[in-house]
Amino acid sequence: MAGLLHLNSTLLPSASLLLRNRSGGQAVRRRRACRVEAKIREIFMPALSSTMTEGKIVAWNAAEGDRLAKGDPVVVVESDKADMDVETFYDGFLAAVLVPAGESAPVGSAIALLAESEDEIPLAQSQAASFSSSSSSSSSSSPPAPQETAAQEASPPPPPPAPVAVSAPAPPSPAAQGGARVVASPYAKKLAKELSVDLFSITGSGPAGRVVAKDVEAAAAAPAKKAVPVAAARPDVPLGSTVPFTTMQGAVSKNMLESLAVPTFRVGYTITTGALDDLYKKIKGKGVTMTALLAKATAMALVQHPVVNSSCRDGQSFTYNSSINIAVAVAIDGGLITPVLQDADKLDIYTLSRKWKELVDKARAKQLQPQEYNSGTFTLSNLGMFGVDRFDAILPPGTGAIMAVGASQPTVVGTKDGRIGIKNQMQVNVTADHRVIYGSDLAAFLQTLSKIIEDPKDLTF
């Protein structure tokens, strides 16, 4: 769903009324009867997530002077979690861009002016000069209210534009690779994935080089070039230079620093996975993923150990969360995000697997909505698919525990009858908030989780 810019207007009095204002009293009494000469709206940087404090303009989808219709995408904004297309809620003309592509602005600060008619563009552009001379901090303060009376000054200047409120942000966005970025419409990106077209090989024909659907279709229809063997290229990184954090990397850095204030401890456990592996082989043809199986098993164990699903935010109390929402760490281009399987204990494994696939697709396309990545109550981080046998995970702020899952590997073990055998086993390590969760709590939780995984018949109910 696209983000809409809800725009409030500033009404400017006619020139004749301003002349009467200079002569005195009667003009004040007739203020309400003035004719509207100009309606200019201010577009400010939207808050696209609860943790976002500033946003980066990735691209403007329209140029100054372009006519915009309600629902047209105006700008692509990079937040701390995703890139979002923001659409206009009104018809008008993009009169002045205050923050160009590539620059950042605090949430709530003006980034552009929208004029209702083409005749009002020069007036909006003259007002834009005052914004450019102001500091970002002053422009991000409380939006100015429209002028209510013309008697406050002998010759009042035109009032500043009214602020814009932004509704739920839109999905979508630019792909990124090795620091480079391709700006593409949401449909073009979806189409490129369906047609197996590399967006980086396309020259966009849309505004500011934006790749649109017709560009993808043309690339898909073009005859394929014969592949030429080349030596493996090293990643295109600016060696020897200092690169600033992306917005998402900055958010991850901030969260990691916050986590240092929480007293944590770690408990490891070895779980035999032979039965789980056999179950997975039987049902993976129905779309079931190992991530969904692990999330389901974890959720079932948390039902019996609610303190491990609790959270402490103020350092003085903690909350027994009413829902079991399993967040799973996913690496995406330029950062890390945790899509959330909400109410994982209540969903069957097939529904859970379908939901997980949808979340991963949206995460990689940077289309997750805030409630789909910030509502987790317990987090999983799985590096087993890379052959990692064990690791520790950092506790995300606002949650009680995170579990690091290693690879399931054949392991030589001693059997109960004194013989030596081979079993598939995996290592899990839980990092927990010691203000709320104690060692005995984690030990009991891991024992329950081990029993569920080693006898997984209930996972398919």
Residues involved in catalysis: 434
In the numeric block, the tokens 């659907």 are attached to: 213
The answer to whether the CB of 400 falls within 8 A of the CB of 312 is yes
β-pair partners for 175 = 182
The answer to whether the CB of 427 falls within 8 A of the CB of 389 is yes
Query: What is the phi/psi pair of residue 31, to 5°?
Result: -55, -40
Element (H, E) at 315: none
In the numeric block, the tokens 């456990």 are attached to: 269
For helices 290-304 and 274-283, the axis angle rounded to 10 degrees is: 130
Which of 88, 75, 104, 248 is closest to 173 using CA atoms? 75
Element (H, E) at 140: none
The answer to whether the CB of 445 falls within 8 A of the CB of 435 is no
Q: Is the dihedral of CA 16, 18, 24, 25 positive or negative?
A: positive
β-pair partners for 426 = 271
- Give the integer Cα–Cα distance in Å for 245 and 255: 14
Sheet holding 10-12, edge to edge: 10-12, 38-44, 110-115, 92-97, 67-68
In the numeric block, the tokens 């994935």 are attached to: 193
Q: How far is CA 432 from the centre of its chain?
A: 25
- Structure token digits, residue 184: 């593409």
DSSP assigned state of 262: S
> What is the secondary structure of 168-237 as a DSSP string?
SPP----EEETTEEE-B-HHHHHHHHHHT--GGG----SGGG-B-HHHHHHHHHSPPPPP---PPPPP--
Which of 438, 457, 443 is closest to 265 using CA atoms? 438
